[in-house]
Chain A
Amino acid sequence: GAVVSQHPSWVICKSGTSVKIECRSLDFQATTMFWYRQFPKQSLMLMATSNEGSKATYEQGVEKDKFLINHASLTLSTLTVTSAHPEDSSFYICSGQSTEPNTEAFFGQGTRLTVV
Protein backbone atom coordinates (compact mmCIF):
# COMPACT_ATOMS: atom_id res chain seq x y z
CA GLY A 1 0.00 0.00 0.00
CA ALA A 2 0.90 3.65 -0.15
CA VAL A 3 3.29 5.10 2.42
CA VAL A 4 2.99 8.19 4.56
CA SER A 5 6.10 9.15 6.48
CA GLN A 6 5.71 11.26 9.60
CA HIS A 7 8.61 12.91 11.37
CA PRO A 8 9.69 13.09 14.13
CA SER A 9 8.33 9.99 15.81
CA TRP A 10 8.76 11.61 19.19
CA VAL A 11 9.76 15.03 20.48
CA ILE A 12 10.20 16.68 23.85
CA CYS A 13 10.05 20.45 24.06
CA LYS A 14 9.90 23.16 26.68
CA SER A 15 6.74 25.12 27.42
CA GLY A 16 6.42 28.17 25.23
CA THR A 17 8.38 26.81 22.30
CA SER A 18 7.01 25.71 18.95
CA VAL A 19 7.24 22.27 17.40
CA LYS A 20 6.86 21.32 13.76
CA ILE A 21 5.68 17.89 12.64
CA GLU A 22 6.10 16.81 9.02
CA CYS A 23 3.99 14.41 7.06
CA ARG A 24 5.08 13.21 3.62
CA SER A 25 3.35 10.98 1.12
CA LEU A 26 6.15 8.95 -0.42
CA ASP A 27 4.58 7.22 -3.39
CA PHE A 28 1.34 9.04 -4.10
CA GLN A 29 0.03 12.57 -4.29
CA ALA A 30 -1.96 13.43 -1.22
CA THR A 31 -4.51 15.96 -2.31
CA THR A 32 -5.96 15.94 1.17
CA MET A 33 -4.14 15.59 4.46
CA PHE A 34 -5.82 14.97 7.79
CA TRP A 35 -4.36 15.72 11.19
CA TYR A 36 -5.55 13.83 14.25
CA ARG A 37 -4.86 13.96 17.92
CA GLN A 38 -5.10 10.88 20.08
CA PHE A 39 -5.33 10.94 23.85
CA PRO A 40 -4.25 7.89 25.86
CA LYS A 41 -6.61 4.96 25.40
CA GLN A 42 -8.98 7.06 23.32
CA SER A 43 -9.95 7.31 19.70
CA LEU A 44 -8.58 9.67 17.12
CA MET A 45 -9.92 13.18 17.17
CA LEU A 46 -9.84 14.93 13.82
CA MET A 47 -8.20 18.32 14.23
CA ALA A 48 -8.21 19.65 10.70
CA THR A 49 -8.37 18.81 7.04
CA SER A 50 -6.07 20.46 4.55
CA ASN A 51 -6.16 20.50 0.80
CA GLU A 52 -3.05 21.28 -1.19
CA GLY A 53 -2.67 24.96 -1.84
CA SER A 54 -5.56 26.13 0.30
CA LYS A 55 -6.22 26.94 3.93
CA ALA A 56 -6.94 24.14 6.33
CA THR A 57 -10.43 23.51 7.65
CA TYR A 58 -10.38 23.13 11.41
CA GLU A 59 -12.82 21.13 13.46
CA GLN A 60 -14.87 22.88 16.08
CA GLY A 61 -12.89 23.60 19.22
CA VAL A 62 -9.47 23.39 17.59
CA GLU A 63 -7.49 26.63 17.76
CA LYS A 64 -6.20 27.41 14.30
CA ASP A 65 -3.70 29.96 15.60
CA LYS A 66 -2.21 27.38 17.91
CA PHE A 67 -2.12 24.47 15.49
CA LEU A 68 -0.79 25.85 12.23
CA ILE A 69 -1.19 23.58 9.25
CA ASN A 70 0.56 24.04 5.95
CA HIS A 71 -0.03 21.92 2.86
CA ALA A 72 2.14 23.58 0.30
CA SER A 73 2.64 20.59 -1.98
CA LEU A 74 0.94 17.34 -2.90
CA THR A 75 3.49 15.36 -0.90
CA LEU A 76 4.08 17.44 2.20
CA SER A 77 1.97 18.80 5.03
CA THR A 78 3.19 20.24 8.30
CA LEU A 79 1.59 20.82 11.68
CA THR A 80 3.19 23.40 13.94
CA VAL A 81 2.18 23.49 17.57
CA THR A 82 2.88 27.06 18.63
CA SER A 83 3.67 28.16 22.16
CA ALA A 84 3.29 24.62 23.38
CA HIS A 85 1.99 23.86 26.85
CA PRO A 86 1.94 20.60 28.82
CA GLU A 87 -1.72 20.07 27.93
CA ASP A 88 -0.67 19.88 24.28
CA SER A 89 1.23 16.70 25.06
CA SER A 90 -0.37 14.00 22.98
CA PHE A 91 0.03 11.60 20.07
CA TYR A 92 -0.45 13.36 16.73
CA ILE A 93 -1.17 11.38 13.58
CA CYS A 94 -1.44 12.51 9.99
CA SER A 95 -3.02 10.76 7.06
CA GLY A 96 -3.07 11.40 3.36
CA GLN A 97 -5.58 10.66 0.68
CA SER A 98 -5.34 10.89 -3.07
CA THR A 99 -7.83 12.57 -5.36
CA GLU A 100 -9.99 9.50 -5.89
CA PRO A 101 -13.13 9.78 -3.79
CA ASN A 102 -14.16 7.29 -1.15
CA THR A 103 -10.74 5.69 -1.02
CA GLU A 104 -8.75 4.75 1.99
CA ALA A 105 -6.51 7.18 3.77
CA PHE A 106 -2.94 6.19 4.61
CA PHE A 107 -1.60 7.02 8.02
CA GLY A 108 1.74 8.19 9.26
CA GLN A 109 3.48 6.49 12.15
CA GLY A 110 2.46 9.22 14.57
CA THR A 111 4.40 11.72 16.68
CA ARG A 112 4.53 11.55 20.45
CA LEU A 113 4.80 15.14 21.71
CA THR A 114 5.76 15.79 25.31
CA VAL A 115 5.83 19.36 26.57
CA VAL A 116 7.73 19.89 29.80
Chain B
Amino acid sequence: GDSVTQMEGPVTLSEEAFLTINCTYTATGYPSLFWYVQYPGEGLQLLLKATKADDKGSNKGFEATYRKETTSFHLEKGSVQVSDSAVYFCALWDTDKLIFGTGTRLQVFP
Protein backbone atom coordinates (compact mmCIF):
# COMPACT_ATOMS: atom_id res chain seq x y z
CA GLY B 1 0.00 0.00 0.00
CA ASP B 2 0.88 3.66 -0.12
CA SER B 3 3.33 4.95 2.47
CA VAL B 4 5.26 8.01 3.58
CA THR B 5 8.80 8.07 4.93
CA GLN B 6 10.21 11.02 6.83
CA MET B 7 13.64 11.72 8.19
CA GLU B 8 13.99 10.94 11.85
CA GLY B 9 14.35 13.75 14.29
CA PRO B 10 14.81 15.65 16.29
CA VAL B 11 16.19 18.34 14.07
CA THR B 12 17.93 20.96 16.16
CA LEU B 13 18.75 24.34 14.65
CA SER B 14 19.71 27.81 15.69
CA GLU B 15 17.41 30.68 14.86
CA GLU B 16 17.75 31.91 11.24
CA ALA B 17 19.26 28.62 10.07
CA PHE B 18 18.09 26.88 6.90
CA LEU B 19 15.69 23.99 7.36
CA THR B 20 15.15 20.87 5.28
CA ILE B 21 12.97 17.97 6.37
CA ASN B 22 13.02 15.12 3.89
CA CYS B 23 9.90 13.27 2.87
CA THR B 24 9.51 10.54 0.27
CA TYR B 25 6.45 8.59 -0.64
CA THR B 26 5.35 5.38 -2.27
CA ALA B 27 2.10 5.42 -4.19
CA THR B 28 0.52 3.73 -7.17
CA GLY B 29 -0.87 6.95 -8.58
CA TYR B 30 -0.24 10.64 -8.08
CA PRO B 31 -1.73 11.51 -4.73
CA SER B 32 -2.05 14.95 -3.21
CA LEU B 33 0.74 15.63 -0.75
CA PHE B 34 0.58 17.61 2.49
CA TRP B 35 2.68 18.95 5.31
CA TYR B 36 0.99 19.30 8.68
CA VAL B 37 2.41 20.95 11.79
CA GLN B 38 1.60 20.04 15.38
CA TYR B 39 2.46 22.45 18.16
CA PRO B 40 2.79 21.07 21.70
CA GLY B 41 -0.51 19.86 23.12
CA GLU B 42 -2.47 20.72 20.00
CA GLY B 43 -3.98 18.98 17.01
CA LEU B 44 -2.61 19.17 13.50
CA GLN B 45 -2.73 22.21 11.29
CA LEU B 46 -2.31 22.11 7.55
CA LEU B 47 0.89 23.92 6.64
CA LEU B 48 0.91 23.49 2.87
CA LYS B 49 -0.11 21.13 0.12
CA ALA B 50 0.47 20.23 -3.51
CA THR B 51 -1.96 18.36 -5.68
CA LYS B 52 0.09 17.48 -8.76
CA ALA B 53 3.62 17.01 -9.98
CA ASP B 54 5.85 20.10 -9.98
CA ASP B 55 3.39 22.04 -7.84
CA LYS B 56 5.00 24.06 -5.08
CA GLY B 57 3.11 24.53 -1.85
CA SER B 58 4.09 27.45 0.35
CA ASN B 59 2.97 29.07 3.57
CA LYS B 60 4.58 31.11 6.37
CA GLY B 61 7.96 30.93 4.66
CA PHE B 62 7.83 27.15 4.28
CA GLU B 63 7.95 25.55 0.84
CA ALA B 64 7.73 22.06 -0.62
CA THR B 65 7.76 20.93 -4.24
CA TYR B 66 6.00 17.82 -5.51
CA ARG B 67 8.74 15.86 -7.30
CA LYS B 68 7.32 12.96 -9.23
CA GLU B 69 10.67 11.73 -10.53
CA THR B 70 12.13 11.36 -7.05
CA THR B 71 8.78 10.74 -5.29
CA SER B 72 9.68 13.42 -2.79
CA PHE B 73 8.07 16.38 -1.06
CA HIS B 74 10.83 17.88 1.07
CA LEU B 75 9.95 20.75 3.39
CA GLU B 76 12.23 23.80 3.41
CA LYS B 77 12.46 27.17 5.10
CA GLY B 78 15.20 29.68 4.57
CA SER B 79 15.31 31.11 8.08
CA VAL B 80 13.66 29.34 11.01
CA GLN B 81 12.37 31.00 14.13
CA VAL B 82 11.98 29.72 17.68
CA SER B 83 8.23 29.74 17.11
CA ASP B 84 8.65 27.12 14.36
CA SER B 85 9.52 24.52 16.99
CA ALA B 86 6.94 21.78 16.52
CA VAL B 87 6.43 18.34 15.01
CA TYR B 88 6.03 18.25 11.25
CA PHE B 89 4.14 15.49 9.47
CA CYS B 90 4.31 14.66 5.80
CA ALA B 91 1.18 12.98 4.44
CA LEU B 92 -0.46 11.79 1.27
CA TRP B 93 -4.09 11.32 0.37
CA ASP B 94 -4.74 7.67 -0.44
CA THR B 95 -8.15 7.29 -2.09
CA ASP B 96 -10.20 7.91 1.04
CA LYS B 97 -7.81 8.68 3.87
CA LEU B 98 -4.61 10.43 4.83
CA ILE B 99 -1.46 8.41 5.36
CA PHE B 100 1.07 10.08 7.62
CA GLY B 101 4.76 9.80 8.05
CA THR B 102 6.15 9.29 11.53
CA GLY B 103 6.70 12.99 12.09
CA THR B 104 9.88 15.01 12.58
CA ARG B 105 10.40 17.12 15.67
CA LEU B 106 12.03 20.48 15.03
CA GLN B 107 13.69 22.36 17.86
CA VAL B 108 14.89 25.89 17.20
CA PHE B 109 17.08 27.63 19.75
CA PRO B 110 17.71 31.37 19.98
Once the chains bind, are B32 and A107 in contact (CB under 8 Å)? no
Residue contact B49 to A108, C-beta cutoff 8 Å: no
B93 contacts A by Cβ under 8 Å? yes
Interface size of B by CB at 8 A reads 21
Contact across chains for A104 and B34 when beta carbons are under 8 A apart:
yes
Number of interface residues of A (CB under 8 A): 22
The answer to whether A107 touches B97 (Cβ under 8 A) is: no
Cβ B43 vs Cβ A43 within 8 A: no
Q: Is A102 an interface residue (CB 8 A)?
A: yes
Number of A-B contacts (CB under 8 A): 45
**B97–A42 contact, CB under 8 A?**
no
Interface of A is mostly: strand
Could you list 20 further interchain pairs (A-B, Cβ under 8 angstroms) beyond the known A6-B43, A42-B102, A49-B97?
A4-B43, A32-B96, A34-B97, A42-B103, A43-B101, A43-B103, A44-B44, A44-B89, A46-B97, A49-B96, A95-B98, A102-B32, A102-B51, A104-B46, A104-B49, A105-B98, A107-B43, A107-B45, A109-B43, A112-B41
Q: Residues of B at under 8 Å CB distance from A? A: 32, 34, 36, 41-46, 49, 51, 89, 93, 96-98, 100-103, 105
